[in-house]
Homo-oligomer: A and B are copies of this chain.
Amino acid sequence: MEQMEMICFNLISSVGMAKSSYVEAMREAAKGAFDEAAAKMKEGDAFYAKGHDSHSDLIAQEANGEAVAFSLLLMHAEDQMMSTETIRLMAEENIKLYQRLTEMEGK
């Protein structure tokens, strides 16, 4: 496997794991398990950071004047990264909504 493919697969795998963690965080929050939700968000961030390193390597390569060749795989990897970032942001908001709901249900 070429180095570029390797980077893309690493990126896809890391941000995919991060995405799963963020989704699980929302599911924990739905159960009222807010500590578990916070732990899942943190777990997701650790996976995401790994993926983001691969992405940064590519950005640095291009910035150094070494063109990064296009491939569908690369596009897919970058798309996965961005969608994971969006899901992280929305998961955070979701958890807050569950906190409010849970507080209200307690009253």
Q: B-contacting residues of A (Cβ < 8 Å)?
A: 23, 26, 30, 58-59, 62, 67-68, 70-76, 78-83, 85-87, 89-90, 93-94, 96-98, 100-101, 104-105
Looking at A68, A72, A73, A76, the one whose CB has the most chain B CB atoms below 10 A away is A72
- Closest partner residue, chain B, to A97 (CB atom): B97
In the complex, 26 of the A-B residue pairs with CB atoms within 8 angstroms, ordered by the A residue number, are A23-B89, A26-B93, A59-B76, A62-B71, A62-B72, A62-B73, A68-B71, A75-B75, A78-B79, A79-B79, A79-B81, A80-B82, A82-B82, A83-B83, A83-B86, A86-B86, A86-B87, A87-B89, A87-B90, A90-B90, A90-B93, A90-B94, A93-B94, A97-B97, A97-B98, A101-B101
